[in-house]
Structure 1
Amino acid sequence: MQEWTGFIAAMRTGGWIMYPLSVLGVLALTIIIERAYVFSRFASAPARLFQPTSADDGRLDKLTPHHAFRRMAAPWLPGSDSPLWLREASAQAIASQIERDMGRGLWLLETIVTAAPLLGLLGTIVGMMKSFQLFGGNGLVDPGGVTGGVAQSLVATAIGLIVAVFALFAFNYFSRRLERLMDELESFANARLSALRLQHEARGKQG
């Protein structure tokens, strides 16, 4: 309870700049939670899917329709008469769409990483200006007001840095997770493509 009271007091000390910083913090937290759910539900797959055969593709039916690997498996389904080059082009288009879907909101996290410390710096400037205005021609007019202005500048800077660091770690994690997903999808597609080429070569030799 005391920690919550102290947090509220710090928010009040920071002044009006705390409102946009709070909005950025809540927005960053929302994006992090939403992206964590998306990656955990739509970006994981059994290791067997990376084998160069399609014998274990039945596992794909257990994945949700919007799962990245189930979407990538669509061009490689057996029974299709489409040429290999058309399947490759379709797979590339699907991969691009998956990358856009999974990376949704990451640009906003990157923006928060830059905007939060700048807003904190703005709060610092406002607080220091408030303190300097209390110095008159005869010296210090209101010592309490000066310390309040300094406290405002320090709180705004601290909150801005906390939000920025929090968003930075999340952005780097999700960016790396997205890169790994795209590598896995590429390996998955290459395995299916290799299997189809072997099948075509075997049919050609039999013919």
Structure 2
Amino acid sequence: MDHLFLIRIIVDGGIMMVPLIAFSVVGLAAIIERGFALRPSKVLCIDRLIELEGLIKQGYLEEAYNMVKDEKSPMLRIVKVALLHSGRDKHEIKEAIENAGRLELPELQKNFTLLNTLAVISPLVGLLGTVLGMMQVFSASMNDGGFNMAILSQGISQALITTVTGLIVAVPCLVFYNLYFRMTDNLTNEMEKYSLTLMNLIIRASEQSRQGIKIELPAAQTSTKEAVSKKSEITVSDTAHLYINGKEVNPNDLLPALQALFKSSSDQTLTIRADGKVAHAHVVHVMDIAKQAGFLRLSIAAAKPPSGHAEAP
């Protein structure tokens, strides 16, 4: 019965009900789409930002970039731009972030114009349908030679259907347009806050990387035993075992062992040896501990078997 009543209303509303129904479908789709797109978890990705903050604080800018390079979140895309400009002047980084933010704003406001347009034109289309319906009613009454109040009232009632429908379509569109506009303002403010924080961290990490640890390319290997013996070396095996100058060290004792080595070292240079089988994370971990131990110069070299351990045949 309800379905038949709804169909009857649509039919009685006349031809202008067709665009109004189309407006309602399009408006509902836009409201649902923006509702999912503007979720803070999708726009800001707070969990990922916390991870990025930790990496950047430790100076792992490359690892941070690898984390965000394929992300689709607006906030993480801005972070990617900031990381791409790491090492440059503060004003250049800030300008790059601002430009990236301006590019993301239209994406956040997608379908806003559509909702606003539907909120404006739906009542007008409904009013047009009512006017056309009234014209038909009066025209039919005049052709019958007089006014029948019962028929006239019924005709006016039917003509007003389009006005009511237009308002039903317009009100939700206008409400959600204003709601989403406010949500976008709040998200933009949060993005600016996080961008400023990460920008300062990136600048600080870039300065530390220039002034602190210096990663040197491995020099040509010398064949003299004397040259090798003067160097401080740590070898990371493919089985995650650690050797300092050929002597195996427990990973839990790595920091005090490196601190002792640093105190006894004359040039304060540490050579880290590893091969392609070693996980990158293990090498980065060793570099971090070496920095804590006091080594400011690190040299990366290909791994060689530690003393006392023969190579596998």
The bucket for the TM-score relative to the shorter chain is 0.7 to 0.9
- Please give the per-residue CA displacement for 1:72-101, whole angstroms capped at 9, x wherever unaligned: 211333993222111111111111111111
Distance (Å, rounded) in 2 between the aligned partners of 1:17 and 1:149: 15
What is aligned with 1:168?
174
In structure 2, do the counterparts of structure 1 residues 79 and 169 end up closer, same or farther at CA, with 3 Å as the change threshold? Answer: closer
For 1:89, which of 87, 95, 99 is the aligned residue?
95
Query: Any residues of structure 2 matched to 1:1-207 within 5 Å, and which?
Result: 2-40=1-39, 42-46=42-46, 49=49, 54-55=53-54, 61=67, 65-77=71-83, 80-136=86-142, 138-140=145-147, 143-144=150-151, 146-196=152-202
Distance (Å, rounded) in 2 between the aligned partners of 1:169 and 1:44: 24
TM (normalized to structure 2)? 0.56
Letter in 2 for 1:195: L
In structure 2, do the counterparts of structure 1 residues 65 and 199 end up closer, same or farther at CA, with 3 Å as the change threshold? Answer: closer
Whether contact under 8 Å (1:42, 1:64) holds in the other structure is: no
Whether contact under 8 Å (1:14, 1:151) holds in the other structure is: no
SS at match of 2:54: coil
After TM superposition, give the deviation of residue 56 of structure 1 in Å: 6.5
Unpaired stretches in structure 2, ≥5 consecutive residues? 57-63, 213-313
More deviation, 157-166/119-128: 119-128
In structure 2, do the counterparts of structure 1 residues 133 and 69 end up closer, same or farther at CA, with 3 Å as the change threshold? Answer: same
Distance (Å, rounded) in 1 between the aligned partners of 2:55 and 2:168: 46
SS at match of 1:89: helix
SS at match of 2:71: coil
Percent of aligned pairs sharing the same letter? 24
TM (normalized to structure 1)? 0.82
- Please give the per-residue CA displacement for 1:22-59, whole angstroms capped at 9, x wherever unaligned: 11111111111222222236314327948xx921677x
After TM superposition, give the deviation of residue 111 of structure 1 in Å: 0.5
In structure 2, do the counterparts of structure 1 residues 61 and 139 end up closer, same or farther at CA, with 3 Å as the change threshold? Answer: same
RMSD (Å), alpha carbons: 3.2
Letter in 1 for 2:26: L
SS at match of 2:53: coil
Structure exhibiting the larger radius of gyration computed from Cα positions: 2
SS at match of 1:82: coil
Whether contact under 8 Å (1:134, 1:141) holds in the other structure is: no
Higher strand fraction (1 or 2): 2
Whether contact under 8 Å (1:75, 1:91) holds in the other structure is: yes
Letter in 2 for 1:97: L
Letter in 2 for 1:100: P
Identify the structure with bigger relative contact order (alpha carbons < 8 Å, sequence gap 6+): 1
After TM superposition, give the deviation of residue 178 of structure 1 in Å: 1.0
User: How many residue pairs get matched?
Assistant: 202
Distance (Å, rounded) in 1 between the aligned partners of 2:90 and 2:147: 81
Distance (Å, rounded) in 1 between the aligned partners of 2:109 and 2:118: 15
Letter in 1 for 2:43: A
Letter in 2 for 1:29: L
Distance (Å, rounded) in 2 between the aligned partners of 1:45 and 1:87: 21
Letter in 1 for 2:182: R
